[in-house]
């Protein structure tokens, strides 16, 4: 473990990079559980620098969840979801008209009166309109459903291209401060189309950093929660670093006094 002094500007730049790291980490899609600790630890004036930040590639997780959410929200029918062998056969044979008639006779449940057809704008609207503040769909009553596997998969691939836009709103700033976001995040922020920054940390008076996430996710209640959460997290870590530094200094002094 090495120690060296750094300037106040360098310290602010370091803390800015760590804050942006937290913003990307907490912005959807967010991985559950804790990330692995850095492999090396460099100490600068008691501040734990850690290794050069590189965002964990979580697109696989986001893509899998997206596919599951879309299949649910557009009403993608699967034979194994029904116990009735007749309905299972109708789904496998893609007998949409017969299924529509059958569901019209249901007396209750989410499938009552559902219209079954090839994937259409009505299915896509059912998906987008059912999304909550974190983007997860919740359909209280299905209006349409589909047996169109190919159409649903094509729609999933199209929507999948947009995964990472919310995180990409912080990417340009992270690169500016020496970070290296995953490519699926960086592609949305490399040209500043999803987010911008204004670095005035070297100003003589009132230094500041302005971050602006311009993705469709920004401005939601969830985005405000993410910003507050990231700031709280960094504030707590800085407080711990300061306390640890003070504790080590006190222990070093006591050791000297004992030696005397």
Kindly report, residue by residue over 2-60, the tens digit of the pLDDT: 556 678 888 889 899 999 999 999 998 766 544 443 333 333 333 333 333 344 445 56
| Same-domain check for residues 15 and 52 | yes
| Same-domain check for residues 154 and 133 | yes
| Same-domain check for residues 155 and 66 | yes
CA distance between the termini of the chain: 27
Instruction: Please report the pLDDT score of residue 259 as a whole number.
Output: 63
- pLDDT (tens digit, 9 = 90+) per residue, 203-255? 988 999 999 999 888 888 888 899 999 999 999 988 887 788 778 777 777 77
Instruction: Please report the pLDDT score of residue 33 as a whole number.
Output: 46
State how far the Cα of 121 lies from the Cα of 103, in Å rounded to an integer: 21
The closest of 34, 33, 38, 54 to 1, measured between CA atoms, is 38
CA angle 11, 27, 167 (to 5 degrees): 80
Examine the fold and report which residue of 128, 160, 192 is the final residue of a domain before the chain moves on.
160
Q: Give the pLDDT band of residue 133 (cuts 50, 70, 90).
A: low
pTM of the model: 0.62
Range of the domain at 65: 61-160
| Same-domain check for residues 153 and 233 | no
Could you give the number of structural domains in the chain? 2
Q: Token pair for residue 189?
A: 């922020």
| Same-domain check for residues 120 and 169 | no
| Same-domain check for residues 70 and 156 | yes
Examine the fold and report which residue of 115, 134, 160 is the final residue of a domain before the chain moves on.
160
| Same-domain check for residues 190 and 253 | yes
Examine the fold and report which residue of 160, 181, 207 is the final residue of a domain before the chain moves on.
160
State how far the Cα of 21 lies from the Cα of 39, in Å rounded to an integer: 17
Instruction: Please report the pLDDT score of residue 102 as a whole number.
Output: 95
| Same-domain check for residues 84 and 206 | no
| Same-domain check for residues 52 and 170 | yes
State how far the Cα of 94 lies from the Cα of 83, in Å rounded to an integer: 17
| Same-domain check for residues 95 and 179 | no
| Same-domain check for residues 27 and 71 | no
| Same-domain check for residues 171 and 198 | yes
């Amino acid at each position: 473990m090495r120690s060296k002094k750094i300037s106040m500007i360098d310290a602010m730049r370091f803390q800015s990079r760590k804050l942006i790291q937290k913003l990307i980490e907490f912005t959807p899609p967010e991985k559950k559980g804790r990330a692995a600790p850095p492999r090396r630890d460099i100490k600068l004036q008691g501040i734990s620098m850690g290794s050069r930040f590189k965002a964990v590639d979580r697109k696989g997780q986001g893509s899998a969840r997206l596919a599951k959410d879309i299949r649910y929200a557009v009403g993608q029918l699967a034979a194994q979801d029904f116990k009735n062998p007749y309905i299972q056969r109708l789904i496998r044979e893609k007998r949409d008209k017969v299924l529509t008639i059958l569901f019209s006779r249901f007396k209750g449940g989410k499938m009552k009166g559902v219209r079954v057809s090839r994937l259409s704008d009505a299915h896509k609207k059912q998906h987008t309109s059912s999304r909550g503040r974190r983007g997860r769909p919740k359909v209280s009553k299905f209006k349409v459903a589909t047996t169109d596997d190919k159409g649903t998969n094509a729609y999933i691939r199209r929507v999948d291209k947009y995964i990472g836009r919310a995180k990409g709103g912080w990417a340009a700033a992270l690169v500016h401060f020496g970070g290296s976001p995953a490519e699926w995040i960086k592609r949305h922020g490399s040209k500043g189309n999803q987010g911008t920054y204004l670095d005035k940390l070297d100003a003589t008076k009132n230094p500041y950093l302005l971050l602006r996430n311009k993705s469709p996710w920004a401005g939601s209640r969830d985005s405000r929660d993410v910003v507050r959460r990231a700031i709280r997290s960094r504030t707590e870590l800085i407080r711990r670093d300061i306390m640890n530094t003070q504790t080590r200094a006190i222990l070093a002094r006591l050791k000297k006094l004992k030696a005397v």
